[in-house]
Amino acid sequence: MVDVSIIVGGGILGLLSAQLLANEGRKVLLLEASATGTEASWAGGGIVSPLYPWRYSPAITALAHWSQDYYPSLGKTLLQQSGVDPEVHETGLYWLDLEDEDQALAWAHRHGRPLHPVDMEQVHTAVPSLGDGFSSAVYMPGVANVRNPRLLQALRAALAKLPNVTIIEHCPVSGFINDGARVVGVQTAQGEMRAEQVVVAAGAWSGRLLAKLGLELPVKPMKGQMILFKCAEDFLPSMVLAKRRYAIPRRDGHILVGSTLEDVGFDKTPTEDALESLRETAIELLPGLADATVVKHWAGLRPASPEGIPYIGPVPGHEGLWLNCGHFRNGLVLAPASCQLLTDLMLDRSPCIDPEPYAPAGRL
């Protein structure tokens, strides 16, 4: 008998976990309340780095470094498997007018990351579209962005070809099936579904699900709004970040500008105030955008957790129940390492990184 694993949630964490488990011979049933890849994973910017990596704990750094090294090969593999190019696009990243530049450089030195100060004249030569109002910059080459909607399409298409993966969309999970202290399945809109393991990878909704077992998982939604412009393909050669806002170039000339951080519950409505604020930021960073049309404006819900440290591993007292959630602003960045770690733990083999900081035990 092949073990069956149910994964609740069809974002980047759920889809990639499904692929890794299926590649190990597991039978996987992935359940998604709406359509796969349409929530936070779709809505983010896709920078393959935390916004300010030196401000995070070593737990985030460990996942981020593992994942950053893995992304280029993941992009190539998914293109081969699915025919969809996730566009892992190495542009490098400029941080402008940092208040904590010294800490940033010290962090980079400690971790062997290639971050260095750059003269503003050089920055304007490299990024001619940049505005004039900035006085200092640091640059990290090699930082990539991934076109997250296409990454999700590629994963979905790759999973569709695997005979041991079943995806059921528009199938909300309403609770768990218990056999004593063991979780043996889930209750859904389409009836009971049973499995040897259940993985909760439901992003901002994970806390609501765990509450059905009387567990308090401190993961809550934090709204973020983004806007998208279309420019010439060479308009912005590198990512730029200033005052907690960023501009990300896609290969075809689309420019994403984000993002807001709003504590408004599960409300995903884009607002005029945010649109205006993001447009102002965009024009301050890149004055040429004053003449560009906003192609799209949207909002998503990040799964906020204390210090942004995700929950990855078994839930104590509920045998068979696993978590891979609570990645806050870094779901795409941390996904490869998080899903590899989960797979290693579920298969009881040596983990790719130390699992202790992410363990649900003692944190619920």
Boundary residue ending a domain (286, 304, 322): 304
| Amino acid 54: pLDDT | 97
Query: What's the mean pLDDT when you consider all of the chain?
Result: 96
Residue 3: pLDDT band by 50, 70, 90 thresholds? Answer: confident
Q: For strand 4-8 and strand 197-200, is the pairing parallel, antiparallel, or unpaired?
A: parallel
Is 64 part of a structural domain of the chain? no
The owner of tokens 């916004």 is: 51
Using 50, 70 and 90 to split pLDDT, how confident is the model at 1? Answer: low
Specify the CATH number for the domain of residue 229: 3.30.9.10
Does 15 score more than 70 pLDDT? Answer: yes
Sort 73 into a burial class: Cβ within 10 Å, 0-12 / 13-18 / 19+.
exposed
265 and 296 in a common domain: yes
- Of 304, 331, 346, the residue that ends a domain is 304
Domain match, 165 and 298 both: no
List the CATH number of the domain containing 322. Answer: 3.50.50.60
pTM: 0.96
Instruction: Say yes or no: 159 and 291 in one domain.
Output: no
Regarding whether 169 and 291 lie in a shared domain, the answer is no
Last-in-domain residue among 304, 329, 344: 304
Residue 180 CA, chain-centre distance (Å), reads 35
CA distance 114 to 246: 20
Q: Taking 90 as the threshold, does the pLDDT of residue 33 lie above it?
A: yes
Q: Per-residue pLDDT tens for 278-299?
A: 999 999 999 999 999 999 999 9
Shared domain check, 230 and 132 = yes
| 252 and 155 assigned to the same domain | no
**In 3D, which of 240, 246, 228, 245 has the Cα closest to residue 299?**
228
Q: How many domains does the chain have?
A: 2
Residues 193 and 235 both lie in one domain:
no
Does 164 lie in the same domain as 298?
A: no
- Residue 252 reports pLDDT greater than 70: yes
Residue 128, CB-side half-sphere exposure with 13 Å CA sphere? 2
Mean pLDDT of 338-358: 98
Q: What angle do CA 257, 300, 274 make, to 5 degrees?
A: 50
pLDDT band at 2 (very low <50, low <70, confident <90, very high): confident
Average pLDDT of the segment spanning 253-280:
96
Could you tell me where the DSSP H helices lie in 170-305? 206-211, 272-285
The residue-averaged pLDDT of 339-359 equals 98
> Are residues 247 and 266 part of one domain?
yes
Name every residue whose Cβ is closer than 8 Å to that of residue 241 and which is 6 or more positions away in sequence.
Answer: 51, 93, 94, 95, 96, 247
Domain residue limits at 316: 4-52+150-218+306-358
